Structure 1
Amino acid sequence: MTNLYPLIFKSIYKNKLWGGRKLFSHLDKDIPLRMRCGESWELSGLPSDDSVVKNGALAGISLSCLLKDYQEILVGKSLYTRFGNRFPLLVKFIDAEDDLSIQVHPDDVLAGINCDSPGKTEMWYVIQADPGATLIAGFNRPVSAAMCRERFQAGQVDDILNRHAVAAGDVFFLPAGRVHAIGKGVLIAEIQQASDVTYRIHDYDRVDANGSRRALDMDNAIAALDVGVDQDCKIPYQAIPNAPIPLVQCRHFTTNLLTCSETVVRNYVFDSFVIHVCVHGSYAIDYGRGRLEVRRGDCVLIPAVIESVNLETESGFTVLECFIV
């Protein structure tokens, strides 16, 4: 059996009505010339979109096959016991050239009942935002499910939703049940539970390439909504050079921010895989038996069996570091 090493997977590109070209211009993604690419899935074990290894001796092998073959060596003993042959996270980049639909994701209980799927808690890191760009996250006042249904069906949504001005480096945490929408002009990295269940609430009466309006799912959306007013979704933090800054800590994942201008040593001895999402610059991962070059737009899966790495850089880098504890 091949010894595991830090893995990069082939990007899975998603054509979207609202997609643009920033995945090419800002993250060096090799997207088709005429494609309105809204999403690039970098790490996914979903049966419909199973990531395939791009680098090294395991190139061409899918994530689901790796997990079946390597089990706890890949993801950690406790996580393999908890999730089995289902990889628990999904990582993607999202380019919103136009507003996304207003939507909500269910929690584990509702998603399990409706779709035999995990729920979807997620976080966003804003990589780039055009001047004046905004996004929606949560409500700005106390609301009820009945009020939400009435406003959503009438298309009168703006006065109850919390709209945030955004800039590069902003971080938002969106537990399952929190209403949200990415606004036009925003490029983000998204880390989420491995689920593709979305309940669309409002879509601005847009039509697809066939002239049809996209379906809404009001009943399930209302059932999934968390209407609580304590919804401060923006995560404050102060960047410290060459040290991990905690951004999100929840039962589904932990994410740190690393902004480094020199070599740093990271010890990963907590029985979990580690994901690196490089959003700026470049660096090399020295893992003892080898070295992997990483640049902006790369997503790296570091197997649980690798417990220490050196991150070496000449020009500096910014990376999201994610694991489960």
Structure 2
Amino acid sequence: MEIMKLIPTGKDYLWGGTRLREEYGKKLDLTPLAETWECSVHPDGPSYVANGTYKGKTLAEVLKAHPEYLGTKVENGELPVLVKFIDAKKDLSVQVHPSDEYAREHEGDNGKTEMWYVIDADEGASLIYGFQHEVTEEILRKAVETGALDKHLQKVPVHKGDTYFVPAGTVHGIGKGILVAEIQESSNVTYRVYDYDRVDKNGKKRELHFDKAVQVMNMKVAPDVSQKPRMVKYYSGCSRELLCRCKYFETERIQVTKGFAFSVMDTSFQVLMCLNGYGEVQTMDAEQKPMRFSKGETLFLPAGLGRCLVVGDAELIKVRC
């Protein structure tokens, strides 16, 4: 049983920038580089193993051969999460994701509940989260046709360190100048409501999915998204902060200043995503060399790996079921 360092698939969506390549070491020949799918078994963007026994294989191939690496909490034998870096140089489309039930019936995929941790944000950056007031399909259709959708959307100022939980059905859009770590269900179903009449590299407008979007979106007023105080637990050598816990995943932010000890139990795999700094993960297995990592790298830790120790100076996102 080995810790696996992952190589991501990249996406060159028209709103992306260059930060993931320039600042996070992503050696992907894409311009722009909008997203890197860091830990993924989704066929639209698989991640690959960079080291050890499974070097060169997709993570999906490894987990198909060793479903026990997922843990006992994973019921269907498939990795339930997808972990990304997203660099929004320009505004993303106004969009919505369906529930599991709708997506499985109509798209043959999972629904998409997600969360964002804001790694960085330009001064004055904002995102879209729900509506300012209750709307109807008729109101939205007219607003999209006349380019007046903006007046119905809730705009939220964004700052470095903010966290947003985005349940399926919530209309949303990441704004320009925002860099996020996204943890989501393993899905690639997005319904675009509005795309600012932009054209792609071939001069064509991207497809909108209004009719499907209105079937799955919550048209009520958005809930309060102000940043609540988060509890930070301090230990000798590290701090831990719970960012999000839902039925699909649990996410923590770990600040390592010296050492961080934790266990990977039989119940769930864990993913470590390095946002800043560097370090190494040591295990109790004397035959396994410490796994080094640095800014921008992502590790998959199989369920049952046991006691681990991160040594270094790093900011990490830790994900598990």
TM category (shorter chain) comes to over 0.9
Which shifted more, 177-186 or 263-272?
263-272
Q: Quote the offset at 1:270 in angstroms.
A: 6.0
Provide the residue aligned with 2:97 in structure 1.
105
Equivalent AA in structure 2 for residue 243 of structure 1: S
Provide the residue aligned with 2:51 in structure 1.
55
Q: Quote the offset at 1:152 in angstroms.
A: 2.8
- Report the TM-score when normalising by structure 1: 0.92
CA contact (8 A) 2:164 2:225 kept: yes
Q: Quote the offset at 1:144 in angstroms.
A: 3.2
Q: Quote the offset at 1:140 in angstroms.
A: 2.3
Q: Deviations over 1:289-308 (max 9, x none)?
A: 23111111111111002122
Instruction: Say which of 71, 74, 79 aligns to 1:76.
Output: 71
Equivalent AA in structure 1 for residue 15 of structure 2: W
- Matched position secondary structure for 2:16: strand
Q: Quote the offset at 1:228 in angstroms.
A: 2.8
Provide the residue aligned with 1:183 in structure 2.
175
Residue 295 (structure 2) pairs with residue 296 (structure 1): yes
Q: Deviations over 1:138-185 (max 9, x none)?
A: 222233344333323332122221212212111111010111111111
Q: Quote the offset at 1:247 in angstroms.
A: 1.2
CA contact (8 A) 2:97 2:216 kept: yes
Distance 1:108 1:234, change over 3 A: farther
Which shifted more, 40-49 or 196-205?
40-49
Provide the rounded CA distance (Å) in 2 between the counterparts of 1:78 and 1:5.
20
Provide the rounded CA distance (Å) in 1 between the counterparts of 2:223 and 2:306.
36
Q: Deviations over 1:179-232 (max 9, x none)?
A: 111111111111110000000000000011111111100011111101232523
Count, aligned residues? 314
Residue 60 (structure 2) pairs with residue 64 (structure 1): yes
Q: Deviations over 1:256-305 (max 9, x none)?
A: 11112121211233600011111111121111223111111111111002
- Matched position secondary structure for 2:73: helix
Distance 1:239 1:162, change over 3 A: farther
Residue 157 (structure 2) pairs with residue 165 (structure 1): yes
Provide the residue aligned with 1:19 in structure 2.
16
Distance 1:159 1:46, change over 3 A: same
- Matched position secondary structure for 1:142: coil
Q: How does 1:310-325 map to 2 (within 5 A)?
A: 310-313=309-312, 316-324=313-321
- Identity %, equivalent residues: 35
- Report the TM-score when normalising by structure 2: 0.93
Equivalent AA in structure 1 for residue 53 of structure 2: A
Provide the residue aligned with 1:153 in structure 2.
145
Provide the residue aligned with 1:10 in structure 2.
7
Q: Deviations over 1:103-124 (max 9, x none)?
A: 0000101101111111000111
Q: Quote the offset at 1:127 in angstroms.
A: 1.0
RMSD: 1.7
Distance 1:270 1:231, change over 3 A: farther
Which shifted more, 153-162 or 128-137?
153-162
Equivalent AA in structure 1 for residue 148 of structure 2: Q
Provide the rounded CA distance (Å) in 1 between the counterparts of 2:10 and 2:145.
32
- Matched position secondary structure for 1:255: strand
Q: Quote the offset at 1:131 in angstroms.
A: 1.7
Equivalent AA in structure 2 for residue 171 of structure 1: T
Provide the residue aligned with 2:192 in structure 1.
200
Provide the residue aligned with 2:39 in structure 1.
43
Provide the rounded CA distance (Å) in 1 between the counterparts of 2:8 and 2:35.
10
- Matched position secondary structure for 2:95: strand
CA contact (8 A) 1:19 1:96 kept: yes
Instruction: Say which of 108, 113, 128 aligns to 1:116.
Output: 108
Provide the rounded CA distance (Å) in 2 between the counterparts of 1:227 and 1:323.
31
**5+ unaligned residues in a row in structure 2: which ranges?**
none
Instruction: Say which of 115, 118, 121 aligns to 1:129.
Output: 121
Q: Quote the offset at 1:317 in angstroms.
A: 1.4
Provide the rounded CA distance (Å) in 1 between the counterparts of 2:232 and 2:141.
40
Provide the rounded CA distance (Å) in 1 between the counterparts of 2:226 and 2:302.
30
Equivalent AA in structure 1 for residue 96 of structure 2: V
Provide the rounded CA distance (Å) in 2 between the counterparts of 1:162 and 1:233.
10
**5+ unaligned residues in a row in structure 1: which ranges?**
none
